[in-house]
A and B are shown apart, each in its own frame.
Chain A
Amino acid sequence: QVTLKESGPALVKPTQTLTLTCTFSGFSLSTTEMRVGWIRQPPGKALEWLARIDWDDDKFYRTSLRTRLTISKDTSKNQVVLTMTNMDPVDTATYYCARFGSTDYFDYWGQGTLVTVSS
């Protein structure tokens, strides 16, 4: 059974760095072709893909956020961590982690965690 769960602060101040952790079970990120990504959804807006990390530690980022995002993995803990620097109120969103399926769609998602950026 594949599960993913996001954790992190519910509230961050402008200019701070956000760190989110995705803890998963039911698969291993050391298995060939496994990939995990992060997606966010601002209130009332569309879903937006942010970043992806692969089993071989390849990393991919949304171009517009590349300078602010870092994705990493801890295979021994079954975790993927996303950091986003210089947070702004426009970054207020529900942040999801998800596993990639056999092609580049997301076959399993976490429940999401709402992050509010406010002073």
Chain B
Amino acid sequence: DIQMTQSPSSLSASVGDRVTITCRASQGISTWLAWYQLKPQKAPKSLIYDASSLQSGVPSRFSGSGSGTEFTLTISSLQPEDFATYYCQQYDTYPPTFGGGTKVEIK
């Protein structure tokens, strides 16, 4: 299985900060990468697919980049509703695999 490694595992940030999360794949996955936002007791939300395509309805402050083995999710100006845990997922090769998550907390 392809291993997905996220960093950092957690971070503290303030409203308005620019936040960057990194995801590394154990082998090249082209741009077959998605990002999700998870909050307790809520349905996970798809943010980015195909590494850089914004899911319909997702605010433009979210952006994704990368290809091959290294990817980033950037939140350009953190909003109160963005405090959550973020996961990357590769879908280049079955089984789909997820990163360990990055918890974004209030500073």
Contact = CB atoms under 8 A, between A and B. Distances in A.
A7 to B, nearest CB: 14
Given A47-B87, A106-B36, A112 B43 contact: yes
Interface in B48-100: 49-50, 55, 87, 89, 91, 94-100
Interface string A48-72: 1100000000001011000000000
A71 B50 CA distance: 27
Contacts of A63: 95
Interface string A62-102: 11000000000000000000000000000000001010011
Interface residues of A, number: 22
Contact of A105 (B34, B41, B97): B34
A103 B44 contact: no
Interface residues of B, number: 23
A106 B34 contact: yes
B46 A60 contact: no
Contacts of A98: 44
Contacts of B99: 46
B46 to A, nearest CB: 5
A53 to B, nearest CB: 14
Given A104-B32, A105-B91, A111 B42 contact: yes
A107 interface: yes
A47 B43 contact: no
A104 B91 contact: yes
A63 B55 CA distance: 30
A49 B43 contact: no
A108 interface: yes
Nearest to B96: A49
Given A46-B87, A107-B55, 9 more contacts: A46-B101, A47-B87, A49-B95, A49-B97, A101-B46, A105-B34, A105-B91, A106-B44, A109-B44
Interface of B: 32, 34, 36, 41-46, 49-50, 55, 87, 89, 91, 94-101
8 contacts: A46-B87, A46-B99, A49-B96, A49-B97, A103-B49, A103-B50, A105-B89, A106-B34
